[in-house]
Structure 1
Amino acid sequence: MTYETIANDLIELLGLKGSPVAVKLAKTQADIPPGCQKIDEKHRHCQFVQEARLRGLTGYATRAEHQCKGGASVMGIEPAPEIVADGTTYQKLGNFKTVEGAVETVHAIPRLDETNYASVYAPLEKAEFEPDVVVFVVTPRQALRLSQAYLHTSGGRIASDYSGIQSLCADAVVAVKQRGVPNMTLGCNGSRKYSGIAEDEVILGFPPQDLGAMVEALRTFKQKWG
């Protein structure tokens, strides 16, 4: 199945609002997919994901286009500012009672060690590149069906590893790219404020190679459960 077919099937079978979003991290300018254009506006990673999901944005963002330095840093696009790396930012924002608690959390957040040139985005049905991760912004019921579809072939369990900060970047992209398994996150203050994720929506990231089998599972569920 092509990504276009997979995406259209997922949208139809789950009744998704918008599209699953293909995300790729390009190590160098030469790794930018052919024909992919730089995004003109400056945004946060979570906003780029939402723009691709809801408005069909396709393009790439370098360090200059990333407004959220925390998100850009965990994806390897730029070094983390000291006030982010040492927990000061999150402690001052009120996320943590102490700097020590902030530091412990920041150090536990998934982050890439390698340096990347840009992040690349597209609705999955328009992706003309191999994504590292496919991000879903969905209702809890749709998240349930996606989880069941992922487990349909081999069983097991799905982790939900998050801390309420750096959610669409560290949790939904970096953790999935590093571990090769899905992760679910609830968003963070920034992503819900700036990107318009609704109160009844959660976020999941999936390795792209699992999606074809998930579509087949969803078809089975439709036959058995309606």
Structure 2
Amino acid sequence: MPEVQIDQSRCIGCGYCVDFCPVEVFDLVPDDRSAGAKKAQATREEACWACDTCVGQCPTNAIRIVESAEETQSRDRDEPCAPPLPLEEHELYTEWHRVLMDILRLRWNPVAISLIPKGQPLPDVAQPRVKLRHCQALMSARRGKSILMPAQCHACPDGTHILGLTEIPPKLASGEIYLQFKKLATIDAAKQMVAERPRLPNRSIRATLVSPLQEAQRTPDVIAVIAQPEQLMWLCMSSSFYSGKRFNFQVSGYNAQCVETTLIPYTTGKFNISLGCYGCRASSDIGDDLMFMGIPKAQMPELIMGLKQLGKKAIHDSRNKVYLPPNL
């Protein structure tokens, strides 16, 4: 269980931690040293998710969340690991990685995302020493890290519920927390946003796994590409190279990585583009110039073939501005 540390000499009793905590860890209690004053106290510390929302909202930096590395480990010592991928499958993902990186000139690795259902064995992949949000894990995977995260490794109660690892806390289900963040105008709007987003059945997923695509440890359900708009444009064109079809994307600015980049492709079998969201942009180092695309594995072969064809001429011509008037 995470330890919630409150520096009472810094606490001013503003109540922000009470208002913003999604799992209602805090209360304001009378301050014995000052008549009529109140201080924050973690009266339900056992409920803490270590999401650090309270840390970020505290105006005096009075709160720290301390975690133990042992608490995030979940595999039974006697439980066998999932078998490694066959060499042929590994080579396929390595080739996809090469094509995406070379033709699009990506800076970051495409990320293989796997949602491991309840009852299935876990691969032999390190779990994080501290809790992470799904979006934070994706940002680490684009840099080359493979991360396995059962429910107790996830720091965001919202994303963890959406991805089917846990139940949703009441304060999130009601939409109340979104009003605290001033992200929606009314409680009805907040409830509508919660009702419209897709989610998997509670506790149907045992763990999430993210890896650089070329180092995938399990057959991915979705491949995430973190890139600039121009690069994602070519992926859209690659997907329609043989069909000429147009696309409709689901975006909202809420729950970008868990819903828009991961769950929508996972549940619909169609790729989706995301602009990012408040949470992922506030809690990771994602650049303001970057967007996200989630691609179901089943769509990758046709996309890769289309991208190879576009790479022969169209991408080169566009990037070299062949139609730009000389005096413009």
TM-score (norm 1): 0.94
Per the alignment, residue 194 of structure 2 pairs with 106
Q: Which moved more, 1:95-104 or 1:83-92?
A: 83-92
Match runs of 1:34-113 below 5 Å: 35-54=124-143, 56-113=144-201
State the alpha-carbon separation in 2 of the partners of residues 156 and 92 from structure 1.
41
- The CA RMSD over aligned residues, in Å, is 1.4
State the alpha-carbon separation in 2 of the partners of residues 44 and 29 from structure 1.
23
**One-letter amino acid of the counterpart of residue 190, structure 2:** A
**One-letter amino acid of the counterpart of residue 167, structure 2:** P
Given the alignment of the two structures, is residue 199 of structure 1 paired with residue 291 of structure 2, yes or no?
Answer: no
Q: Would you say the 8 A contact 2:265–2:294 is kept in 1?
A: yes
Match runs of 1:153-172 below 5 Å: 153-172=242-261
Shift of 1:157: 2.0
Match runs of 1:95-134 below 5 Å: 95-113=183-201, 115-134=204-223
**One-letter amino acid of the counterpart of residue 107, structure 2:** K
State the alpha-carbon separation in 2 of the partners of residues 128 and 121 from structure 1.
9
**One-letter amino acid of the counterpart of residue 272, structure 2:** N
**One-letter amino acid of the counterpart of residue 91, structure 1:** L
State the alpha-carbon separation in 2 of the partners of residues 41 and 2 from structure 1.
32
Greater relative CO, 1 or 2 (CA 8 Å, sep 6+): 1
In the alignment of these two chains, the number of paired residues is: 224
Shift of 1:29: 5.7
Per the alignment, residue 313 of structure 2 pairs with 224
Given the alignment of the two structures, is residue 6 of structure 1 paired with residue 89 of structure 2, yes or no?
Answer: no
**One-letter amino acid of the counterpart of residue 69, structure 1:** P
State the alpha-carbon separation in 1 of the partners of residues 217 and 208 from structure 2.
14
Rg comparison, structure with higher value? 2
Given the alignment of the two structures, is residue 184 of structure 1 paired with residue 273 of structure 2, yes or no?
Answer: yes
Identity across aligned pairs (percent)? 27
State the alpha-carbon separation in 1 of the partners of residues 312 and 146 from structure 2.
34
Aligned counterpart in structure 1 of residue 304 of structure 2, from 215, 223, 226: 215
More helix as a share of residues: 1
Given the alignment of the two structures, is residue 26 of structure 1 paired with residue 121 of structure 2, yes or no?
Answer: no
Q: Which moved more, 1:110-119 or 1:137-146?
A: 110-119
Structure 2: gaps (5+ residues): 1-90, 317-328
Per the alignment, residue 175 of structure 1 pairs with 264
Shift of 1:59: 2.5
Shift of 1:49: 0.3
State the alpha-carbon separation in 2 of the partners of residues 66 and 194 from structure 1.
13
Q: Would you say the 8 A contact 1:110–1:171 is kept in 2?
A: no
Q: Would you say the 8 A contact 1:21–1:52 is kept in 2?
A: yes
> Which secondary structure state, in structure 1, belongs to the residue aligned with residue 220 of structure 2?
coil
State the alpha-carbon separation in 2 of the partners of residues 116 and 210 from structure 1.
23
Structure 1: gaps (5+ residues): none
> Which secondary structure state, in structure 2, belongs to the residue aligned with residue 214 of structure 1?
helix
Shift of 1:79: 0.9
State the alpha-carbon separation in 2 of the partners of residues 2 and 126 from structure 1.
11
Per the alignment, residue 234 of structure 2 pairs with 145
CA deviations on 1:137-194 (whole Å, 9 max, x unpaired) are 1100001001111111223222221221111001111111110001111111110111
State the alpha-carbon separation in 2 of the partners of residues 174 and 16 from structure 1.
23
CA deviations on 1:62-116 (whole Å, 9 max, x unpaired) are 1111111111110001111111111111121111110000100111011112521
Q: Would you say the 8 A contact 1:23–1:133 is kept in 2?
A: yes
Q: Would you say the 8 A contact 1:77–1:116 is kept in 2?
A: yes
TM-score (norm 2): 0.66
Q: Would you say the 8 A contact 1:159–1:184 is kept in 2?
A: no
